[in-house]
Chains A and B, each alone.
Chain A
């Protein structure tokens, strides 16, 4: 039987994915594990490997289609199979009916034939699991066993995994679901204000406000191009709105003298050149110092849970990166345990893959703090919006040479100065806590030797 190829599920809460492009076409010979299509989830683009060797056939969705996870999207034909073996209308094959022991005329069917069930290998399962599989119409040979026998839990898990996606997993009250239904609002797009992010009817009503006429083409003589939201844009919109509405942002700014940091970077670069490594960027150096300061200020490296605060043991620093479709935040894991050179190389790799749309899910998950740098555009100072569930984000401005007073004698020197603005969630971080963090940051940048202390 042709092997059905399903839209894989990459993330716990993922419901659907968009096919960006098929790299193989109908009739192509494919090998197990080679990439046959690229899909886009709400977070990243992912190459999907082929589950089996054979011939790609019966493609059911084309580029650009949005497909619920676990939906069959194509089939792999094995040797000797043809298109005629495909299930009709591309429907997923129903589980084969058990063969009757007696045929219509009451003649006994040979036992060998009757038990020629579609089970590939003998399966060891508990009696409860066997009964359950029968009731649910599940082929036991397809159920992965967690131990040496297939248990009831294994069958339950399998049945659950086979259920079509589409059930909304957003926590929402019945009233919110009704209002969403009536007003055509997608609950996923609503930021919930109830306990644990539960969507309340008022949240849906706030989202469902009518679109202002000016955004509609020819609304009142004004024309505009209406751009449908990409899933990445939708995610940015939803998360930024949620963050700005839910967490009270405070912003603190400091100016830091970059003289010593620039000197250190020059020394590092000499070393890097000897080793044939790429040049150390300002961002890489910043990450090193930020990681050091985060370890000293655990409340900056934290998440607000409504009734508690998680102080993360890991220091995973996200770096806001502009890509053609918008903004992604690849995460540098365990930054507090890495040297500047290692941070630099990983950063280059992440940025390259971000631009090529090749980030994996784990590359963008698990961040505990974010750095956003707009200095290269000459932006001197700005405020960033916190990237939930994190509690703070650092906005890095451009390095500007300007005269400043450098000592008690009011001596003025021209120094490379940079401004840092920390946006912090006041539910977790008080002004003093944020100030201490910035002060540590200034110490680390103005005297990088301190990192050895």
Chain B
């Protein structure tokens, strides 16, 4: 299987799906000749032409509104918001229109759009270009929110997202774009709403998303040498959240830590912990359930501060060690 980057995997999905389905088209700022801020659409204007790779004015509301309109007429638009932080400008379109139309029109219409949005810190882009806002989007029924951590998941979930009849927010992490992994060249999808156990373990369940999956897996590898077996769960889809996989895991391990880059307060870790606390897994919990989120501060521009504003490997390791203390 060829090894390609996370960015390349998403690009491959878009490319292949545009080849397969002529209803699919792209729209966004600077996605044509420039190839997108991160190079995601590089070469696609030449391949598919300006009809299907559409440059838009600098207006996120317009981008999403146009996508919604096109989808209502049978198209499968994939919109790009240059940075996830700009999603607020389009939230009325996403939340009040896209997410609700299917329900308000009695199921007689669908809004099959995908809104791609690169989030996360690590690129030195400061507070207005570095946020992790998936928790915000999880609050709106009618939306689906996808947040892959590996190239393999990214391609399979992108193909599933485009084919899904609902509006899907596809959250990418900028710091993952260059990470590599094995990705099949052919067509495959990963079901939306299904978590994956990235590493099985008996001592503690750690639920993490996007880049925190990668960090936690590295920590788990180290801890295994000390005999601590960490089970790492990647929800992959934030909405709908696969709580069943998490609950079943906690029943086995008796311990739960949730790690995310998003600010801790109001972050989705609270949602996961509340779901487990109220589930049959409660009677199996053998240590206080904990969360490790980003600091409750705007992401700093300073490189050093930017790094420590989000959970670091050693912090994840400390949390896990403290939680499994007394277990064996």
Contact = CB atoms under 8 A, between A and B. Distances in A.
Contact of A176 (B286, B325, B328): B286
A201 B286 contact: yes
B286 A173 contact: yes
Contacts of A193: 326
B286 A175 contact: yes
B256 to A, nearest CB: 12
A195 interface: yes
Contacts of B286: 173-176, 200-202
Given A175-B283, A175-B285, A194 B326 contact: yes
A318 B286 CA distance: 36
B284 A200 contact: no
A16 interface: no
Contacts of A194: 287, 325-326
A242 to B, nearest CB: 14
Interface residues of A, number: 13
A178 interface: yes
B254 interface: yes
Interface size class of B (residues with CB under 8 A): 10 to 19
A249 interface: no
Contacts of A174: 282-286
A177 interface: yes
B198 interface: no
Nearest to A173: B286
Interface in A31-72: none
Given A175-B254, A201-B254, A195 B283 contact: no
B303 interface: no
B327 interface: yes
The B interface is mostly helix, strand or loop, or mixed, namely loop
A173 B285 contact: yes
Interface string A177-201: 1100000000000000111001011
B327 A195 contact: no
A39 B287 CA distance: 37
Contacts of B287: 173, 194, 200
B91 to A, nearest CB: 39
Contacts of A178: 283-284
Contacts of B325: 194-195
Interface string B312-328: 00000000001001111
A199 B197 CA distance: 29
Interface string B270-295: 00000000000011111110000000
B293 to A, nearest CB: 22
Nearest to A193: B326
Contacts of B327: 200, 202
A174 to B, nearest CB: 5
Given A173-B286, A193-B326, A202-B286, 16 more contacts: A174-B283, A174-B284, A174-B286, A175-B283, A175-B284, A175-B285, A178-B284, A194-B287, A194-B325, A194-B326, A195-B322, A198-B326, A200-B287, A200-B326, A201-B286, A202-B327
7 contacts: A173-B287, A174-B282, A174-B285, A174-B286, A178-B283, A200-B326, A202-B286
Interface of A: 173-178, 193-195, 198, 200-202
